[in-house]
Each structure stands twice: as structure tokens, then as C-alpha cells.
Amino acid sequence: MQKTTTKLADGRELIYFDTEESADRAYTDLRPLEATTALSEVRRDPVTGDHVTVAAHRQGRIYHPPADECPLCPSRDGRSSEIPAPDYEVAVFENRFPSLALGAAAEVLPDVTPLRELTPGVGRCEVVCFTSDHDASFADLSESGARLVLDAWTDRTAELSALPGVEQVYCFENRGAEIGVTLAHSHGQIYAFPFVTPRTVRMLARADEHRAATGRNLFEDVLAAELADPVRVVLRGEHWTAFVPFAARWPYEVHLYPNRRVADLTELTEPERAEFPGIYLELLRRFDRLFDGSAPTPYIAAWHQAPARHRTEAALHLELFTIRRTVGKLKFLAGVESGMDAFINDVSPESAAHRLREVAT
């Protein structure tokens, strides 16, 4: 893999990842861009203890541009984009409208007033362009293309984790207008948080309780239980297993675990990396066949990785889920889910797993 780092016109970092080590990436961003200002705040909810990021400057970000003005396409035919090169394989750059930014420390003053805990939204938000093809999805990638994305995720996890103040690195993809995606070009994002996210806090608390009660790791026991009674197992390889969780929250939800527990992407071995693309691409393609190919399936793909300071019990895994519950119908997070965080699933996990096995090629 070749990694080439350069700068955009406003000083943001742009990184090209290429399978060949001879790729020419000597292209200059000629746009007249002004440096962005980071005004993000992180506020602590005094009732729940959760961190909430306030990033009001993002209201002006790009919203559903026409295909010929896509900022994630290569710069071609006299049109400049976020990527100056006329073609690329995988490109990663700092978000122009970040929720978190290292510069926030210079713009936002902390406040330690009781019940009003506020700190600067220090962190980093990156955009990961999976392909230069505007019309291709992740599922359309070759295995080598998916492997290059995995290598990019791994590289960024290592570098972002080393930034001062970063507590957790989160790689994810939102796909589909139904999810809220505002740029149609296939891409994902990476957030380097200055706090541990609420869902991770809850999972690790459960893992600590499980260790105290049993002497074993929670995530290892969950995977072993699914393999012992494989009614919810969707795919199994030598190094990875995909299953619908016992208490799935979403109509179709699959968790993909490496069979050997690791803390984050940087700890995967070469055999584990080599097998991942085939397993993951098959899962994505099955998601697109769930509803008889009537429309591309909207989904969220979320990598769960260990925080910087709580790695012992954590387990790397990917959670893939869709908000579509059947043809033409979505699962909305209404009063019960949004108001009380109490999920009600319209599809049994066993039925979902059966359907995901049924749509195999």
C-alpha cells in the first residue's frame, strides 16, 4: 500500500491510499478557500452523564448537491473538488464542516460551573471516500478495493488514537437518503472523540460486570454462545463470524466479530485482514437482496473499537443494520425508542438471520 499525504487549499490534510506504490499524487488544490473555524463545544448532560456535541457552524454544510457538483468526485474537466487528483482509489481528508476539531481549543473557553460542564470540542472528523466512482457503493468494490479501505481505516485508527485528548476512534458508514446521507457518493467518516461514547460506556460496564461475575470476557462468551447454537449465525469464516444478535434492536442487524478477540483494527493479523473483504462484501450484497432488490438498502455500518484507556475487556466488532423493515416501510425511532431508548423490533432476530442466509448467492 502507498500512502501519500498532502494539503488542501485551506490547510486541511488529504491522504491518498493506493494499492500500487507508483501512483502519482502530485496535484495541488487551486481553490480559493478560507481556513475553517472550529466552534464545537462538548457539553455534559448533568442528568445522564452523557456527552453532547454542539456544532452550530455545521448548519451551512453542503446538502444534496447535483452529481456534476459532487465534492467527493475527482477534480476533472475544469471542475475542482475536495480531491485535486483526476482519479483515486481511496482518499481521506479532514471534514470541511467538522463536528470536532483540534482548533476548537483556541476558540471555545471551558466552563466548569456546577451542572454546566462545557469543554471545547477538540478532536478530528475525517471523510473516507471508498472509490472515485460516483455511482458505485461499497458493495460494488472488489475484494482488493475493500481491503484498501480496511487498511485506510487501520492507518487512521492508529494515527488518530495518538492525538492528544482523543479518547476513542470511530469509523462508520451511513448509506442512503433514508439514513440522512447528504452526499450520494460512496463514503464513510471517522470521528476521533475527546470522550468515550455513551454506547461504549454501557457496553464496557456490562463487560466489567460479566468479568466480575464469571471471570470471563463478555464478548468472547457472546460469540461462543452464538456458535454453540447457530440459529442466528449468518456467515462464518476461519477468522470472522457474522450473526444477528439475540436482542437485535433493528429489523435487520448483523454483528461481525473476528473469531480472535482484539481491541481495535490495528491488532488484526494479516490472515484476519485478508479474509475480511470477502465476508463483509457478501454481507453488504445480501443486505441489498433482502427486499427483492426493489431499492438499495439503507444502512449504517459501525466499527466498535476499544477506547484509549479501557482496552482490557473491549472487543473490536462491526455492527451493520438497516432501518428498513420490509419493502417500502422504514423503522422510525418514535416515542418509545427516541423518548426512552427502549427499542421494539418488528422482526424476530431468528427470522432475520434466516432471511439473510436465504438471500445468499
239 is catalytic: no
- Single-letter residue type at 230: P
Distance CA 135, CA 74 (A): 13
Measure the CA angle with vertex 186, ends 183 and 77; round to 5°.
75
Contact 70, 81 (CB under 8 A): yes
Q: Choosing from 51, 187, 210, 310, which is the catalytic residue?
A: 187
Cβ atoms of residues 161 and 308 within 8 Å: yes
Contact by Cβ (8 Å): 206, 311:
no
Distance between CA 182 and CA 176 in Å, rounded? 9
Beta bridge partners of 14: 6, 93
Cα–Cα distance measured from residue 26 to residue 289, given in angstroms and rounded to the nearest whole number: 41
Residue 70 labeled ligand binder: yes
**What phi and psi values does residue 312 have, to the nearest 5 degrees?**
-65, -45
- CA gap 271, 292 in Å, rounded: 34
**Strand-pair partners of 353:** none
Judge whether 93 and 8 are in contact, CB under 8 Å: yes
Give, in degrees to the nearest 5, the angle at Cα 315 between 194 and 165. 15
CB of 235 within 8 A of CB of 279?
A: yes
171 marked among binding-site residues:
no
Tell me if 129 is assigned to a ligand binding site: no
- Taking the C-alpha atoms of residue 361 and residue 256, their distance in angstroms, rounded to an integer, is 19
- Per the annotation, does 134 bind a ligand? yes
Range 268-274 contact pairs with CB under 8 angstroms and sequence separation of 24 or more: 268/154, 268/316, 271/238, 271/239, 272/239, 272/240, 273/147, 273/150, 273/151, 273/154, 274/147
Q: SS3 letters for 58-72? A: HHHCCCCCCHHHCCC
Catalytic sites, residue numbers = 187
Residues forming the annotated binding site? 70, 73, 134, 185
Residues forming the annotated binding site for Zn(2+)? 70, 73, 134, 185
